[in-house]
Amino acid sequence: MTITVGTTITQFIIERQRALPEATGELTSVLNDVVIACKGIANAISHGGLAGVLGSAGTDNVQGEGQKKLDVLSNDIFLKANEWAGHVAGLASEEMEDVVPLPNGVSRGKYLLLFDPLDGSSNIDVNVSVGTIFSILRSPEGVDLPRAEHFLQPGTAQVCAGYVIYGPATMLVLTTGDGVHGFTLSPGIGEFLLTHPDMRIPEETTEFAINASNMRFWELPMRRYIDECLAGSDGPRGKNFNMRWVASMVADVHRILCRGGIFTYPLDSREPSKPGKLRLMYEVNPMSFIVEQAGGVSSTGRQRCMEITPEGLHQRVPVVLGSKSEVERVVGYYRDAAD
* Contact positions vs ligand AHG (CB under 6 A): 65, 94, 116, 119-122, 211, 247-249, 265, 277
Cβ-in-10-Å burial (0-12, 13-18, 19+) of 283 comes to buried
Comparing CB distances to ligand AHG, the nearer of 60 and 65 is: 65
Inter-axis angle of helices 9-18 and 26-46, to 10 degrees?
Answer: 160
Are 117 and 78 a contacting pair, CB within 8 Å?
A: yes
Contacts of 97 (CB under 8 A, 6+ apart): 62, 314
82 binds, among ligand AHG, Mn ion, none (CB under 5 to 8 A by kind): none
CA distance 28 to 10: 8
300 binds, among Mn ion, ligand AHG, none (CB under 5 to 8 A by kind): none
Q: Segment contacting Mn ion (CB under 5 A): 109-117, 122-130, 188-196, 216-224? A: 109-117
| DSSP per position, 104-141 | TT----SEEEEEEEEETGGGGGGT--EEEEEEEEEPPT
CA distance 109 to 174: 21
Q: Segment contacting Mn ion (CB under 5 A): 13-21, 97-105, 119-127, 196-204? A: 119-127
The reply on whether position 116 binds Mn ion by CB under 5 A is: yes
Q: Segment contacting Mn ion (CB under 5 A): 44-52, 93-101, 165-173, 327-335? A: 93-101
Are 61 and 109 a contacting pair, CB within 8 Å?
A: no
CA distance 298 to 181: 18
Helix boundaries (H) for 155-248:
220-231
CB of 179 to Mn ion, least distance (A): 24
Comparing CB distances to Mn ion, the nearer of 87 and 279 is: 279
Binding mask 17-46 for Mn ion (x = CB under 5 A): ------------------------------
Q: With CB under 5 A as the rule, give the number of residues binding Mn ion.
A: 4
CB of 128 to ligand AHG, least distance (A): 11
Comparing CB distances to ligand AHG, the nearer of 27 and 71 is: 71
CA 13 to chain centre: 19
CB of 72 to Mn ion, least distance (A): 11
247 binds, among ligand AHG, Mn ion, none (CB under 5 to 8 A by kind): ligand AHG
DSSP strand E in 168-241: where? 170-175, 181-186, 191-196, 207-209
Comparing CB distances to Mn ion, the nearer of 118 and 251 is: 118
CB of 133 to Mn ion, least distance (A): 7
Q: Please work out, in degrees rounded to the nearest 5, the angle formed at the alpha carbon of residue 183 by the alpha carbons of 34 and 108.
A: 20
The reply on whether position 119 binds Mn ion by CB under 5 A is: yes
Comparing CB distances to ligand AHG, the nearer of 119 and 207 is: 119
Contacts of 118 (CB under 8 A, 6+ apart): 41, 68, 70, 71, 74, 75, 124, 130, 131, 132
Q: Segment contacting Mn ion (CB under 5 A): 5-13, 87-95, 171-179, 195-203? A: 87-95
Residues that bind Mn ion (CB under 5 A): 94, 116, 118-119
